[in-house]
Chain A
Amino acid sequence: MITFTQVTKRFGNFTALAAFDLTVAPQQAVALWGPNGAGKTTAIKCLLDLLRYQGTITVDGLDAHRRGKAVRRLLGYVPQELAFYPRLSTVETAKFYARLKDASDARILELLELVDLTDHRQKAVGALSGGMKQRLALALALLADPPILILDEPTSNLDAAARDHFLSLLRQVKDENKTIIFTSHRLEEVEQLADKVVVLKAGRREHECAPEELADLIGATRQIKLRFAPDAPDDVMTRALALLHAQGYAAHPNGTGLIVTVAAGAKAAPIGLLNGADMPVADFELE
């Protein structure tokens, strides 16, 4: 169990976190959601005792400040800014942190295999790609098989393919019943990983909700591109636009299809609408 009780962190006159409360149950995955500057990273750094704060944070009953070292033994941390010793190789880096965490060489090899870095184990960390470094950070976080995983914007520096790969790794980790706290501003990450979402804004806790409620709560929208069958009538685009506008959708033609702005949690709604009006959508893609 992790609890934040009235945690406040100030940097000079700026309040990064204001009387923040949070409870995370064992084996629960909690997303801290919010824009940049909302206080997500500050909350995580307070938990790790990297920042001194007012209030109380406990992990399994241990005070995160007074028993910082014991608490960090229960945590695996994947930071947003990956800072490794560039001259060490992948395996040397893993060995150094494994010694600090009393993890075995066998565990290192097992984790490098899990994160698909076995072939890169002799490579200098400075020469690894962003995705590889992120995977290495996950492997290091898991070295001592900690019950709690802390991830700060875990996919923010990754391209789409690397992000998918990393998320699949995180789902595997979640299946091992670990408690997870992660910060994010990506809806798909929250939907795939979280059991609960805490929304922060300007250092304050604004809401707590289920992941599937987040899109509606924050009014998130996505754009989808719809295409009609090549043998569809010539006026299908015009009629479809008129219908979508009549139903309150923002839509405009784009080359061979239509771009429609939809609520993030209701992406299929305009497709259903058009299909029902005898204007079958042949294909769609997320913009």
Chain B
Amino acid sequence: MSLKTLWILAEKELEDALRNRWFILYTLAFMALSLALSYLALAGAGMVGFAGFGRTAASLINLVLLIVPLMALTIGAQSIAGEEEQGTLTYLMAQPISRTELFWGKFLGLALGLLAALLLGFGVAGLVMATQSASAADPEVYIRLVVLAYLLSLTMLSVGMLVSAFTNRTGVAIGVGLFLWLIFVFFGDLGLMGTAIALRVPIDNLFYLSLINPLQVFKMAAILDINTSLDILGPAGVFALQEYGDQLFSLFMGVLALWIIVPATAAYWRLNTKANL
């Protein structure tokens, strides 16, 4: 594998992502909502103005849960299927490049695109807070949320690329991507609570069930990072902390890493073994 070729393909993918109108729209929406949330975070306390980093980070968790997966799934789903539908993939693969370079070049380019979008969204809100908020003393928790949000975006990029590798129609890929987004969102708090009540799932199983959903893992990791406890999640959160203690955050990171590696590897395998391009 040539790193030079991989980087050329990644650059091309990054440029395409930054020109993609949906990507731009999601980024601007995320930036605007981040700013609005940081402004409104103090409203509950009867105050007006920009809140500090910690309070804003807590407010941003739910926003990240909705927009970041949607953005990553959409661009991931378009990545391979879109080129296949246009015919550009066939022409590109007729050049002196390997399928390995193509896939990982695309992944890297899109990952950098997502990083740019998140840095812009979080960065503008962060900059405003740093200059406008009276209580903006500790930006570390905010920066760690950016890192967690980025890991979440990579999990959804992997899933999106997996969908994309299994279809050659952009519309189908995006449709499946949106359906998966709905499932991931639904199987958050509401879905898990409903399942727990309906099936009388024991507390420990409920926690393990929540580990299946990367959105839920992100949320638990972010809450744990901000609060240093998961009491807010009820008995399942208490169980998790008692069972895993200091290792809990590492467990969450491990699950997120698996959600990045497994779908991306499966997507790569699919592209690499495709008989006809």
Contacts and interface: CB of A to CB of B under 8 A. Distances in A.
A101 interface: yes
Interface in B74-122: 86-88, 90-91, 93-98
Q: Specify which of B19, B86, B95 lies most central, judged by the most chain A CB atoms within 10 Å of its CB.
A: B95
B98 A83 contact: no
Contacts of A75: 94
A265 interface: no
B9 to A, nearest CB: 8
B47 interface: no
Contacts of A83: 86-88, 90-91
A97 B88 contact: no
Contact of A81 (B12, B87, B98, B277): B87
B90 A84 contact: no
A68 interface: yes
A72 B96 CA distance: 5
Nearest to B99: A68
Interface residues of B, number: 19
B95 A100 contact: yes
A77 B277 CA distance: 15
A74 B8 CA distance: 20
B199 interface: no
B88 A100 contact: no
A250 to B, nearest CB: 42
Contacts of B131: none
A87 B20 CA distance: 11
A97 B276 contact: no
A77 B94 contact: yes
Contacts of B90: 50, 79, 83
A48 interface: yes
B275 A72 contact: no
Contacts of A81: 87
B4 to A, nearest CB: 9
A50 B276 contact: yes
B276 A52 contact: yes
Interface string B1-25: 0000100100010001001000000
A269 to B, nearest CB: 44
Nearest to B90: A50
Contacts of A239: none
A14 interface: no
B95 A84 contact: no
Given A83-B86, A100-B5, A73 B96 contact: yes
A50 B19 contact: no
Interface string A86-106: 010000000011011100000
A53 B87 CA distance: 20
Interface in A162-177: none
A209 interface: no
Nearest to A81: B87
Contacts of B96: 69-70, 72-73, 100-101, 144
A68 B8 CA distance: 19
A50 B95 contact: no
A224 B12 CA distance: 52
Contacts of B16: 85
A68 to B, nearest CB: 7
A51 interface: yes
Contacts of A68: 98
A73 B98 CA distance: 11
Contacts of A101: 95-96
B277 A51 contact: yes
A79 B94 contact: yes
Nearest to A73: B96
A68 B12 CA distance: 22
Given A99-B8, A100-B5, A100-B8, A48 B86 contact: no
Contacts of A49: 93
Interface in B109-163: none
Contacts of B93: 48-50
B87 A51 contact: no
Given A69-B96, A69-B98, A72-B96, A84 B91 contact: yes
Nearest to B5: A100
Given A50-B276, A101-B96, A79 B91 contact: yes
B18 to A, nearest CB: 12
Nearest to A96: B12
A51 B276 CA distance: 4
A49 B98 CA distance: 10
Contacts of B97: 69, 72, 100
For the complex of A and B, 10 pairs with smallest distance between CB atoms = A83-B87, A73-B96, A52-B275, A72-B96, A77-B94, A50-B277, A83-B88, A48-B94, A69-B98, A99-B8
5 contacts: A52-B275, A79-B94, A83-B91, A85-B16, A100-B96
Given A51-B277, A100-B96, 19 more contacts: A48-B94, A50-B93, A50-B94, A51-B275, A52-B275, A68-B98, A69-B97, A69-B98, A70-B96, A72-B96, A72-B97, A73-B96, A77-B91, A83-B91, A84-B88, A85-B16, A96-B12, A100-B5, A100-B95
